Structure 1
Amino acid sequence: MKRARIAWAGAVHDAIECDGQLELLTPALRGQRVPFEGVVWLPPLPPMPAHRPRTILALGLNYADHAKELAFKAPEEPLAFIKGEASLIGHRGFTVRPPEVQFMHYECELAVVIGRTARRVTKAEALDFVAGYTVANDYAIRDYLENWYRPNLRVKNRDTCTPIGPWFVDAADVHERLGGPMNLALNTTVNGTITQQGNTRDMIFDVPTLIEYFSAFMTLHPGDLILTGTPDGVVDCKPGDVVVTSIEGIGSLENTIAL
């Protein structure tokens, strides 16, 4: 099942995809359908408790071909950094490109949504702690890069620079219908031209390994995100470019670059 979170008619609603439309789940409006074009798409994630922010863990150089593209040796353990939730925007949103930069690269990534509290989880049980999956586009503004291995805040933690969505797809659906998260085709188009292709099977550290790794030293909470890295094929994005990052069985996330 594909779930969405949208703003429509002055309120925020949960919805599901149904015959090319959005079917509202709000009790008073349950069953009403609205067109994709008539809503504002929000990140398809559950709201967090007021006392706790969402933790977003992002991987660098998690595909060997991307590490080679950037002239780096593939890492021997996960290279991770933390992002703030203010960086997230929804499907069909606008990502701001700072006017002075020369290198703003998209990054098509499988995003893992944690479903229950995970602490010292083994690889064998890791997928039991996943609520579902969505698509992320984790833009990198490489002009500000000080260290390829540990991107600083201005590279990766900028408002509007992490579109996510459009759908949240239940873990059971991915595990049963698609055979799990580790054999999904990815691609990116810029203005309709394919510029990136890959497959999640080419991750250096797969989803179970990442959950085991992180939960060994920190607690993962429901709603936390793991962005799993991108394959090679990143290019600079200019104002006005329409970027679509797609993952097989999960969805196609559209985003426009703005000044």
Structure 2
Amino acid sequence: MTEYRRILLDGAATQVVRDGDDLRAADGRRVRAADAVHLPPCEPSKVVAVHLNHRSRVEEFQTRLPPAPTYFHKPVSALNAHGGAVVRPERCRYLNYEGEIAIVIGRTARNISAKEAGGYIAGYTVANDYGLHDFRDTDAGSMLRVKGSDTLCPLGPGLVTDWDFHGKYLRTYVNGELVQDGSTGEMEWDMHYLVADIARTITLFPGDVLLSGTPANSRPVQPGDVVEVEAEGLGRLRNHIVAGPVPVRDDCGAQPTESEEVISTAFGGDWQFRGIRPPRR
């Protein structure tokens, strides 16, 4: 396996290779990985995410999987990187982490089979598919603001090639405490299936990203929290939450809400059935 990263090196976006604790550029320059300013490890034209895939998440919501995967789109303006700040806008309270594994496309893919899909994948990286559930009442179909607001798609720290996705753990930590503990073994549809499914009608280009779903126990985080997602063999993606200094405008558009749908989704389905509300923080 080889791990590629994109960093700012002397002010320029540069692809580097991880070499132990160092990152090495093609011209021989080196920088310590811990000191580098990271960029997303790929430059996608689109980011496509599956709604439900992990069985533990399905069980948590007391629902069932559809016959085939369903998807939503995150705009590339939501991209973020290892070490970056994730912004919770003012007047919003329900910003949830979702630790995931991201598939990165390496060759243009269209109308391919699941058996062929592996040959079209450049590699894999760690993702955190943050959701701003305050807007869930109005964007439940498209998920545009819920999942596509600025900074809500961190990827990294690197792109790992030749990674075998079978039976790998996927864990999320908030301030050092384990909050999600899943595995690729609980995914209903594997990485190759997802690529083939999307490529039936949507051309996938090199750099494009598919997010493969999150396990149970996605919950809200607060400004000041440090969130880390670790996937076995892919490394650990770290981000911190900050408060947006400018409130969401109230002179246009749908406003943040705290409906039963918002509360239920943010807290894993429990609150809807218990008829109570979570404590304020």
Pairwise same-fold verdict (TM > 0.5): yes
* Separation in 2, partners of 1:149, 1:99: 21
AA of the residue aligned to 1:214: I
| Partner of residue 31, structure 1 | 28
Cα drift, residue 162 of structure 1: 0.8
C-alpha contact 2:99 2:171 (8 A) present in aligned 1? yes
More deviation in 205-214 or 63-72?
A: 63-72
1:117 aligns with 2:124: no
Please state if 1:221 is matched with 2:229: no
Amino acid at match of 1:12: A
1:149 Cα deviation from its structure 2 partner: 6.7
**Does residue 208 in structure 1 map to residue 209 in structure 2?**
no
Contact 1:60 1:149 in 2 (8 A): no
Q: Which of the residues 206, 225, 228 maps onto 1:241?
A: 225
Q: Give percent identity, aligned residues only.
A: 37
Report the structure number with the largest CA radius of gyration.
Answer: 2
Cα shift readout 1:185-216 (whole Å, capped 9, x = no counterpart): 00010000101000012112111211221111
Compute the RMSD of aligned alpha carbons: 1.6
Counterpart in the other structure of 1:51: none
| AA in 2 matched with 1:60 | H
Preserved contact between residue 126 and residue 236 of structure 2 (Cα < 8 Å): yes
Q: C-alpha distance in 2, partners of 1:240/1:149?
A: 28
The TM-score, its normalising length taken from structure 2, stands at 0.82
Matched, 1:167 2:158: yes
8 Å CA contact 1:80, 1:150 repeated in 2: no
- Native 8 Å contact 1:87 1:157 kept in 2: yes
Helix, strand or coil: the match of 2:173?
strand
For 1:1-259, list aligned pairs within 5 A: 1-25=2-26, 30-45=27-42, 47=43, 54-146=45-137, 150-170=141-161, 172=162, 174=163, 180-259=164-243
SS in 2 for 1:145: helix
Matched residues, number: 242
CA deviations on 1:124-181 (whole Å, 9 max, x unpaired) are 11111111110110101112113897352110001101110001001x2x1xxxxx21
Deviating runs (4+, > 4 A) in structure 1?
A: none
Alpha-carbon displacement from aligned partner over 1:215-243 (angstroms, at most 9, x marks no partner): 11221111111000100021210001000
d(CA) in 2 for partners of 1:2, 1:213: 27
In structure 2, do the counterparts of structure 1 residues 149 and 204 end up closer, same or farther at CA, with 3 Å as the change threshold? farther
SS at 2:157's partner residue?
strand
Match of 1:177 in 2: none
2-side partners of 1:197 and 1:105: how far apart?
16
Q: State whether residues 110 and 228 of structure 1, in contact with CA within 8 Å, keep that contact through their aligned partners in structure 2.
A: yes
Match of 2:137, SS?
coil
Q: Which amino acid aligns with 2:131?
A: A
Structure 2 unmatched ranges of 5 or more = 244-281
1:64 Cα shift? Answer: 2.0
CA distance in 1, matches of 2:110, 2:228: 35
Deviates more, 1:208-217 or 1:129-138: 208-217
TM-score normalised to the size of structure 1? Answer: 0.89
- Alpha carbons 1:138, 1:161 under 8 Å: kept: yes
Contact 1:43/1:89 (8 A) holds in 2: yes
